[in-house]
Amino acid sequence: MPDFATLAVFCAATMALLLVPGPAVVFIVTRSVAQGRATGLVSVLGIHTGSIVHVAAAALGVSALLAASATAFTVVKWLGVAYLVWLGVRKLMAGPGEAETAELATHSRSRVFWEGFVVNVLNPKTAIFFLAFLPQFVQPSAGPVAPQIIVLGLIWMALGIASDGAYALLASSLSGRLRRSLRARRRLDIGSGVVYLGLGAAAAFTGEPAKA
């Protein structure tokens, strides 16, 4: 296993990355404001259930395969881009006052959970973390690589649940004020749509790994 000093640096660097809003944070904040604290926390659980896919993929060596294959990386990247653009367009096209009502009527907590799962499985930020960042803290001399990746992945998930949970609680505390204002709701939809599209554009320009 990595030594204590390595784990400490990993935790500090991971928190710095997690606090930078990405698709997962945008999803959590949007759900928390639209539907409250409990649904926001459900979205956090969905997001980090999706994280298990990335941890398992890294441990099984799929991350190494993606890093070596520009085609595979491109497929994953553009799936994420397409989903982000779809979310952004949906938000921007929603009519004033109707978007939130529709979401409150149709977005059950189970749906929010699975939407969060999909958001993070296709999250370029998470994929890049496991492709390029986490492997730097693996020490082959300290033992088998797969168990180290699992331990680091679980630490990342625990820190992610804590930071994303904080986002959910903060956003839900403002939800009442925002939901009472039609103008605020529309601004939230427009702002969320623009952020989703911006994240999609940023993901589209993410560099591809060189072929092995």
- pLDDT score of 67 more than 60: no
Q: Is residue 188 part of a domain?
A: yes
Q: 129 in a domain, yes or no?
A: yes
Q: What is the pTM of this model?
A: 0.66
> Which of 10-14, 20-24, 179-183 is least confident?
179-183
Query: End-to-end distance of the chain based on CA atoms, in angstroms?
Result: 28
Question: For 106-126, how does the pLDDT look when each residue is reduced to its tens digit (9 = 90+)?
Answer: 468 888 899 899 888 888 778
Instruction: Name the domain count of the chain.
Output: 1
> Cβ distance 44 to 163 under 8 Å?
no
Q: What is the mean pLDDT of the chain?
A: 75
Residue 125 domain flag: yes
Distance between CA atoms of 188 and 76, rounded to whole angstroms? Answer: 29
Buried b (16+ CB within 10 A) or exposed e, 56-85: ebbbeebbeebbeeeeebeebbeebbebbb
Looking at residues 148-169, what average pLDDT do you find? 92
Tokens of 50: 């999706």
Q: At what angle do helices 145-173 and 23-35 cross, to 10 degrees?
A: 40
Q: Which domain holds residue 16?
A: 4-204
- Is 177 among the domain residues? yes
Does residue 210 form part of some domain?
A: no
In a domain, 212, yes or no: no
Q: What is the pLDDT of residues 169-212, one digit of tens each?
A: 988 887 666 555 556 566 666 766 776 677 667 666 654 444 44
DSSP letter at 20 equals S
What pLDDT band is residue 35 in, cutting at 50, 70 and 90? Answer: confident
Distant-in-sequence, close-in-space partners of 134: CB < 8 Å, separation ≥ 6: 58, 149, 152, 153, 156
Which tokens sit at 54?
């990335």
